[in-house]
Chain A
Amino acid sequence: MNITTNQGTDSTVIVLEGRFDAHEAPHAASVFDSVLDEGQNNIDVSLADVQFIDSTALAQLVRVMKRCKEAGGQFSLLEPSDPVLVILELTALDKAFNIVDGQSAEQAA
């Protein structure tokens, strides 16, 4: 999985590409933690190019969401791909995460 970190004006955007599963979760966790440790508490994670996500990876996203909120920040998932959106809906995690789809992003712009 490719991970790119972009510093925006209001938030840090972490772009994930590929398969996000138990094997990739430790790498992603270290990237998330390094951003949080730098004091960036507003994090957006782009999942547009993630084609598979498992429960270990979802647990990482939940952990980062909680850390952001505890620090008074915001955490969003940007444009999750269809397979990821299905998993978020099946697990009802769409009720827990702030999800910004393509349409919302365009409206916000």
Chain B
Amino acid sequence: MTPDQALGVVLGRALDLVRDLADRWERAGARAVWFEVDQWPDLLPLTGAPEPDADDLHRYPLDLNEFTGWCCAVGEMNRGDEDLALDVSLACRLARYEHDIAQFTKSIIESNDQLLALYEMASSRASILTPDELATDTAAEAMSMTRSAAALVAGPGGEFGFAGDDDLRSLLHDAVDRLGESTDTLVLRKQSDQLVDVIARRMDHVDGAVVLAGKPGKRVKTPTVRLIEAVADRTEMLFHLEAMHATEVKRAVLDRDAAAASELSAAALPDRMPERDGLDIKARIIPARLGGGDFYMVVDTDDGVAFSAGDVSGKGLAAGVVMTLLCSTVRNAVRRRNWTNAGELMAEIDVDVRDYLESAGMFVTMSVGLWTEGSDKIELANAGHSPVLLRTGDTVESIPANSPPVGVLPADSGEHHVIEFVPGTVLMIGSDGLAEQENEAGEQLGYDVLESLMTGEPEEIIDNLFGAVHDHGLGVDRSDDQMALVLGRAA
């Protein structure tokens, strides 16, 4: 990539981000907004026509890794200089961060390329031939190689594949029956209309046999007897490869995928919680082997906290990558402060990620909340997420969704709940992986059980939830991530 192309990539993303900012500046009174980049000869207009010599010129430093310069605007704006400079600084930070994420994702994808190619190769054979077709194909190949009149590939359940003269089919089945366990290779002379030589070779590892019938009236020569051993070995190997395709190769890809998703989760989730008087926040997440889509985020605001928890549809690396995008989007949307309530914050997040989710064919169920220190209220916007449980006194209620998941429909402007959050109240946002954990009989834990576990302080609630889910699912793989974010209002 040339420096100009690199500039294009970084600036391209920054331009997207700053274009929103430019629109807002225009509404705030700017006549024009543009970039002046030290490494670029021309001005890059965002809105209006640049006026570098205007009296009411505002210039704020631009820092996009190796590219530096100024974001410029002209006009009497109804926002302070410090505010405008912060806009530019945040847009630059976001552009750099997203550039880094893109590089990281690219490197993960490249590292998977070899395994995926192998998987595709194995898949293509499976997609061309079903196991039955594979057996028939092998029988035809064996017949051709040995210049026989008919060939049979038998498995534990009887005939698996057959090729050649159908009149000889029963002779070949007789040979399988007579092969027994003590003989590897059997040579028989069978009386059909004419004398026919039949050779059978056992395949121990797949519990089957390959049987050939020579041409009627012609003796099978010794080299053919040896050849059938090679044919049987080759057939056995083919079936092994087929089995390997279904297990080992796929598992290798999935393990790599799961490991990458797990690394992404660990990097994206907060490593500590903000501390606020009167608020106790606890969270726990246990990823499934092929999970990676659950997330939670708690961000300090000037006067309280913003929090979010959700679940990306889908599994594996794709869900993991979208999850990291969501975490950074939530963090940045909170910090941009272009919202006045939780519903507007959700709408802001929706605008940032909707196109991406639509193109990926995914959606995200999530809740976003706001609490101001000392307040007895909490605002919560719920986009199709459950369970969201609120305990007030001895009563536990479920907080319904305000809207479908993010990425399904354009977000409404600001629908949200305002919830009483007096001392003693506890709010829990969990993931469906808790309620839908199955036991050995295939029964789910259920949402009702989660409600009954909402007792005690946040730490205790998390221990209760994960303990119950663990006990219920003993001996059963976790098929989905399990996550809970619990906020308790302390006295």
Contacts and interface: CB of A to CB of B under 8 A. Distances in A.
Given A22-B315, A55-B314, A59-B314, A93 B404 contact: yes
B361 A59 contact: yes
Contacts of A91: 365, 384-386, 401, 404-405
A62 B315 contact: no
Interface string A72-94: 00000000000000000011110
Contacts of A66: 358
A54 B444 CA distance: 13
A2 B361 CA distance: 23
B366 to A, nearest CB: 11
B372 interface: no
Nearest to A57: B313
A27 interface: no
A90 B386 contact: yes
Q: What class of interface size applies to chain B in its complex with A?
A: 20 to 34
B404 A55 contact: no
Instruction: Give the residue among A21, A22, A55, A56 with the most B Cβ atoms within 10 A.
Output: A55
B362 interface: yes
B307 interface: no
A85 B32 CA distance: 51
B36 interface: no
A59 B362 contact: yes
A90 B401 contact: yes
User: Which of A54, A56, A60, A62 has the most CB atoms of chain B within a 10 A radius of its CB?
Assistant: A62
Question: Which of B293, B384, B386 has its CB near the most chain A CB atoms (within 10 A)?
Answer: B384
B432 A62 contact: no
21 contacts: A21-B479, A54-B480, A55-B293, A55-B313, A55-B365, A56-B313, A56-B315, A58-B363, A60-B361, A62-B361, A62-B407, A62-B408, A66-B358, A90-B384, A90-B401, A91-B365, A91-B384, A91-B405, A92-B384, A92-B404, A95-B409
Interface of B: 293, 311, 313-315, 358, 361-363, 365, 383-386, 400-405, 407-409, 432, 436, 479-480
Chain A to chain B: the 10 pairs with minimum beta-carbon distance, closest first: A92-B401, A59-B313, A91-B384, A55-B313, A90-B386, A63-B361, A96-B404, A92-B404, A92-B384, A96-B408
